[in-house]
């Protein structure tokens, strides 16, 4: 019966011979016949033993084949189309080679020219005419003088005239000499001019011949250089084309092979990733459901435990209410007897009231009722504060905070009336009795 039985025994065992307890006994019997049980005590965990529907699933990606593996390069075996090309510039002839110098051996057009001044003659007619004219003048003068001057005068005049004729002859000779000198000068000038023309023309011919010879040599050399350059350029172009063709083939073959290898590797990697993801998905699904089942089972277990604990508290509360009703009934009866003059009820009433108050405010505080006791501090008045659990979970399930009845002032202790254990009146202490968890 627990606490209720202890209270009943206390109430009924105080003074069995007293008539006032008969009614209390009957009331206690009536109340004590009502039993309370925990309706959650036998609950079963419906989540326990659940099977995993994901267990046994197979990986659908396992065993897939790599369709890119073993592909052949389409560029393999291609030939270099530039290989074996011939140099079309090789063996060309120099069209400038063997040209003749058209300026060579040209005749000098001034060669064999005659000196037209060489055969110039002296014109004597003027001198002869002047001499005849002078003689005629002198003759005329002599004739006129004979008539006027006489013989002596004529002789003198003749002498004078002879001298004058001699001077005229000398003058005529000088005029002829001047002509001859002028002819010589003209002759020499013409000879010099002809010689200059001959030499100038020869120099021009020689220069033209040398220039054309140089031009022919330059043209021939340039043509030979151009032929060599064209031949070398085409040879180089052929080599470059062949090398580029070979390189392009190698690059195409290597690139295609690398692409095939990359495609094979990528698909292989994708297959591995798909297989790994499939396996991981299965593992995650299986583990996830297993974890959920475990969590559901644990959660249901916790709910059952909480409900059972709540059922225990409800049972304890109902038993306490039942005991409280018994005590109130007994106290009411005793009060009525006391009012009627029946003695021996004062100690009974006080004890019943103290036990009821102690149960309401703090429950059993005897050290013998507790386990896992730890001191956690002191109150402002220096009273030790403990944490503990009840050995009998009917007194309370969980961790509580309070005092020990043997460690507090005596005025707060209610001595062992129920079950031989002490109780505490917490209203007289500065320590709060409470459940921590």
Give 293-340 pLDDT, tens digit per residue.
878 888 888 888 888 778 766 766 666 555 555 555 555 555 555 555
Using CA atoms, how far apart are residues 432 and 412, in angstroms rounded to an integer? 13
Instruction: Please indicate, yes or no, if residue 260 is contained in any of the structural domains.
Output: yes
Residues in the chain: 437
**Residue 316 and residue 238 share a domain:** no
Q: For residue 259, give its domain range.
A: 83-308
Q: How far is CA 181 from CA 116, 121, 143, 173, 185, in A?
A: 16, 11, 39, 12, 6
What is the tally of structural domains in the chain?
2
**Residue 264 and residue 165 share a domain:** yes
Q: Which residues of the chain have pLDDT under 50?
A: 1, 12, 14-18, 20-21, 342-345, 348-349, 360
Instruction: Please indicate, yes or no, if residue 109 is contained in any of the structural domains.
Output: yes
Q: How far is CA 215 from CA 101, 106, 145, in A?
A: 9, 17, 89
Tokens of 141: 């003068």
Instruction: Please indicate, yes or no, if residue 301 is contained in any of the structural domains.
Output: yes
**Residue 87 and residue 204 share a domain:** yes
Contact 414, 423 (CB under 8 A): yes
pLDDT computed for residue 381 by the predictor? 96
pLDDT computed for residue 319 by the predictor? 60
Contact 37, 247 (CB under 8 A): no
**Residue 320 and residue 280 share a domain:** no
**Residue 256 and residue 231 share a domain:** yes
**Looking at 259, 279, 308, which one is the last position of a domain?**
308
**Residue 225 and residue 98 share a domain:** yes
Q: How far is CA 47 from CA 287, 288, 309, 429, in A?
A: 16, 15, 20, 48
Instruction: Please indicate, yes or no, if residue 53 is contained in any of the structural domains.
Output: no
Q: What are all long-range contacts of 121-127, with beta carbons under 8 Å and residues at least 24 apart? A: 121/183, 122/176, 122/179, 122/180, 122/183, 123/179, 124/176, 126/175, 127/172, 127/173, 127/175, 127/176
- Among left, alpha and beta (phi > 0; psi -120 to 50; other), residue 83 is beta
Instruction: Please indicate, yes or no, if residue 50 is contained in any of the structural domains.
Output: no
**Residue 148 and residue 190 share a domain:** yes
Instruction: Please indicate, yes or no, if residue 43 is contained in any of the structural domains.
Output: no
**Residue 314 and residue 303 share a domain:** no
**Looking at 291, 308, 325, which one is the last position of a domain?**
308
pLDDT computed for residue 15 by the predictor? 45
pLDDT computed for residue 326 by the predictor? 53
**Residue 182 and residue 112 share a domain:** yes
**Residue 262 and residue 141 share a domain:** yes
Q: Are strands 434-435 and 384-390 parallel, antiparallel or unpaired?
A: unpaired
Q: What is the pTM of this model?
A: 0.29
Query: Comparing C-alpha atoms, which of 19, 20, 21, 18 is closest to residue 9?
Result: 21
**Looking at 308, 333, 362, which one is the last position of a domain?**
308
**Residue 275 and residue 144 share a domain:** yes
Instruction: Please indicate, yes or no, if residue 71 is contained in any of the structural domains.
Output: no
pLDDT computed for residue 413 by the predictor? 92
Tokens of 21: 């307890």
Instruction: Please indicate, yes or no, if residue 45 is contained in any of the structural domains.
Output: no
pLDDT computed for residue 45 by the predictor? 84
**Residue 159 and residue 304 share a domain:** yes
pLDDT computed for residue 127 by the predictor? 76
pLDDT computed for residue 331 by the predictor? 53
pLDDT computed for residue 112 by the predictor? 87
Residues 6+ apart with CB under 8 A from 71: 260, 263, 264
């Amino acid at each position: 019966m627990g606490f209720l039985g202890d209270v009943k025994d206390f109430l009924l065992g105080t003074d069995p011979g007293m008539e006032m307890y008969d009614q209390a006994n009957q009331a206690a019997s009536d109340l004590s016949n009502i039993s309370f049980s925990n309706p959650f005590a036998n609950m079963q965990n419906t989540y326990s033993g659940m099977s995993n529907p994901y267990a046994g699933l197979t990986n659908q990606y396992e065993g897939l084949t790599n369709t890119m593996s073993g592909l052949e390069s389409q560029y393999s075996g291609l030939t270099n189309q530039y290989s074996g090309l011939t140099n079309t510039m090789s063996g060309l002839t120099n069209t400038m080679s063997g040209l003749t110098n058209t300026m060579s051996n040209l005749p000098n057009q001034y060669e064999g020219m005659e000196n037209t001044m060489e055969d110039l003659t002296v014109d004597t007619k003027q001198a002869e005419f002047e001499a005849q004219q002078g003689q005629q003048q002198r003759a005329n003068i002599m004739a006129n003088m004979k008539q006027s001057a006489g013989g002596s005068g004529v002789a003198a005049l003749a002498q004078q005239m002879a001298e004058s004729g001699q001077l005229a002859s000398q003058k005529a000779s000088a005029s002829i000499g001047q002509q001859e000198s002028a002819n010589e000068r003209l002759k020499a000038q013409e000879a010099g001019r002809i010689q200059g023309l001959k030499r100038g023309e020869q120099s021009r011919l020689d220069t033209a011949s040398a220039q054309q010879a140089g031009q022919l040599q330059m043209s021939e050399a340039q043509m030979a250089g151009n032929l060599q350059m064209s031949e070398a350029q085409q040879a180089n172009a052929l080599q470059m084309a062949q090398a580029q063709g070979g390189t392009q083939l190698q690059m195409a073959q290597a690139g295609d092979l690398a692409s095939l290898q990359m495609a094979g590797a990528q698909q292989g990697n994708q297959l591995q990733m798909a297989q790994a993801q499939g396996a991981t998905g299965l593992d995650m699904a299986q583990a996830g459901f297993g974890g959920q089942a475990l969590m559901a089972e644990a959660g249901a277990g916790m709910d059952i435990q909480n409900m059972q604990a709540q059922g225990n508290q409800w049972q304890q509360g109902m038993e306490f209410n039942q005991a409280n009703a018994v005590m109130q009934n007994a106290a009411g009866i005793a009060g009525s007897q006391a009012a009627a003059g029946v003695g021996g009820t004062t100690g009974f009433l006080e004890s019943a009231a103290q036990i009821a108050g102690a149960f309401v405010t703090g429950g059993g505080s005897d050290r013998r009722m507790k386990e896992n006791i730890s001191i956690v501090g002191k109150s402002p008045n220096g009273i030790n504060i403990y944490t503990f659990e009840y050995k009998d979970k009917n007194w309370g399930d969980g961790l509580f905070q309070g005092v020990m009845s043997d460690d507090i002032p005596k005025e707060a202790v209610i001595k062992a009336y129920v079950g031989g254990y002490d109780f505490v009146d917490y209203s007289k202490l500065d320590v709060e009795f409470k459940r921590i968890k």
